[in-house]
Amino acid sequence: MEKAYFNWSTGKDSSLALYKILKDKKYKVERLVTNINKDYNRVSMHGLHDSLLEAQIESIGIPVEKIQFPADVTMSMYDQKMKEKTEELKNSGFNHAVFGDIFLEDLRKYRDTKLNEVGIIGIYPLWKQNTKELLREFLDLGFKTITVCVNADLLGSEFVGRIIDEDFIKELPDNVDVCGENGEFHTFCFDGPIFSKPIDFEVGEKVLRSYKLHDDTNDNCYQKSNKEEKRNYSTSFWYCDLTKK
């Protein structure tokens, strides 16, 4: 079996991709890797508190490595830190990196280019699959997930802090991908076949935060298809705070 590490975001696509790769006898996932905003002790972009990440890891049973980034990390800083970590993983015998990406071509190209620099191969268990069918499979398998962050330019506050179910899917606007693959929303997965036990949590307040993103800002979790185009734009997100019981 090939030794692999999994890029764990805490959300539904990561959960389904991990479920699939764990069933693939070609690979053995021995490590999870998660990016952390060290200024707030939260998972990058998702805004999920580290204590809930730790609860997931305990339930999944695979060790995690956390890559610490400041809140104002630039793309150059991000690239340097990630290269250092991938080189470290490569030197530890990891030749494959697994991602939950589905159809963002530029993002996959970016990942593969960076991985190739250190001799690691990217694996994408969900790649090019229909997002509606993936979400249906996710729910049918018994996974449960809640939205923790939504793009306020596309979705209102009523969409954050909600369990993803049939009603949620039906209410999504036509211009929003059902899996949020374009960065429309992010989730926290708290139950399902990869967990030995559900994660207990409480739903807290909703907060609107706005950010100014520019060419050298790390917006890795919120990719645009025209990555090469120079840009300087504002965007806002609704976050729902979750706390571990």
Cβ-in-10-Å burial (0-12, 13-18, 19+) of 90 comes to: middle
Q: Which residue carries 């996710």 as its tokens?
A: 138
Same domain as 141, residue 104: no
User: Would you give the DSSP letter of residue 74?
Assistant: B
Task: Find the angle CA(117)-CA(43)-CA(40) to the nearest 5 degrees.
Answer: 120
Same domain as 165, residue 239: yes
Same domain as 144, residue 225: yes
Same domain as 103, residue 81: yes
Same domain as 149, residue 84: no
Task: Find the angle CA(156)-CA(174)-CA(135) to the nearest 5 degrees.
Answer: 90
Say what the pLDDT of residue 67 is: 97
Same domain as 89, residue 196: no
Other CB atoms within a 10 A radius of the CB of residue 196 amount to: 8
Domain of residue 144 covers 131-244
Same domain as 222, residue 192: yes
* Tens digits of pLDDT across the chain (245 residues): 999 999 999 999 999 999 999 999 999 999 999 999 999 999 998 999 999 999 999 999 999 999 999 988 899 999 999 999 999 999 999 999 999 999 999 999 999 999 999 999 999 999 999 999 999 999 999 999 999 999 999 999 999 999 999 999 999 999 999 999 999 999 999 999 999 999 999 999 999 998 765 455 444 443 333 333 333 344 899 999 999 99
Say what the pLDDT of residue 221 is: 40
Q: How many domains does the chain have?
A: 2
State which of 103, 123, 143 marks the end of a domain.
123
State which of 105, 123, 141 marks the end of a domain.
123
Same domain as 135, residue 115: no
Same domain as 211, residue 186: yes
128: left (phi over 0), alpha (psi -120 to 50) or beta: left
Q: Which residue carries 């340097």 as its tokens?
A: 80
For the entire predicted model, the pTM comes to 0.92
Separation CA 88–CA 143 (nearest Å): 32
List the CATH number of the domain containing 99: 3.40.50.620
According to DSSP, the residues that pair with 210 across neighbouring strands are 236
Other CB atoms within a 10 A radius of the CB of residue 208 amount to: 11
Say what the pLDDT of residue 36 is: 97
Element (H, E) at 109: helix 105-116
Same domain as 218, residue 116: no
Same domain as 152, residue 106: no
Separation CA 184–CA 41 (nearest Å): 23
State which of 123, 157, 173 marks the end of a domain.
123
Same domain as 80, residue 18: yes
Separation CA 220–CA 90 (nearest Å): 22
Other CB atoms within a 10 A radius of the CB of residue 173 amount to: 10
